[in-house]
Amino acid sequence: MVKRYDLIVFDWDGTVMDSTAVIAGSIQAACRDLGLPIPADETARHVIGLGLDEALRHAVPDLPEHQRGDLVERYRHHFLAQENAMPLFAQAQETIAELRTAGHSLAVATGKSRHGLQRAMQASGMQSYFHAIRTADMTFSKPHPAMLLEIMDELGVIPQRTLMVGDTTHDLQMALNAGVDAIGMTHGAHPEDQLRALQPLALLHDFVELRTWFRQYA
């Protein structure tokens, strides 16, 4: 079958790595440490995928400016304490390896920092699969299209030959803004109805379904 996409770009947290609960819990624990209002689960999950500073601004909109650095420090304390315990989603590595073997260019576009992504990729054994990365401290945060535009430019791929895979509306909106097709993964941070509203090509529940979709359509 003729290959439909030359480049497939993955979000990381909540898409490739099962980290949603840890990130949301770390935001809530950081607020608790500082006596700040604790965001509800839905709010803490909604900001996943944004850069850390932007995520905390949205999760705690009334945060006093003088406490911003303390909140970042407490978040990192709680997150790093659990960083090595977060698994990849089942069949994520096998699916991504199969795509690379099939000749696709692969990339990651994430709200993590560059060092944070590199640590996560090294710990999970995924550092050798991807041809390009963009993180929130390398360019504009999602849903700005810069991550995808820069990856496509770096790898020489046009939007019509690029596919974004993500679990949040930030991912899907970024894809729309860049003129790129997208798949929504429902096993991550944002509810299925919110993902559906952005009309991705497909809504899939896990990497078993995603692997099957790739074999049929990618």
Are residues 180 and 188 in contact, defined by beta-carbon separation less than 8 angstroms?
Answer: no
Exactly one of 6, 11, 167, 181 is catalytic; which is it?
11
| Tokens describing residue 204 | 């899939």
Give the type of residue at 8.
I
Does residue 33 carry a catalytic annotation? no
Whether 11 is catalytic: yes
Considering the candidates 13, 167, 171, 181, report the single residue annotated as catalytic.
Answer: 13
Q: Which positions are annotated as active-site residues?
A: 11, 13
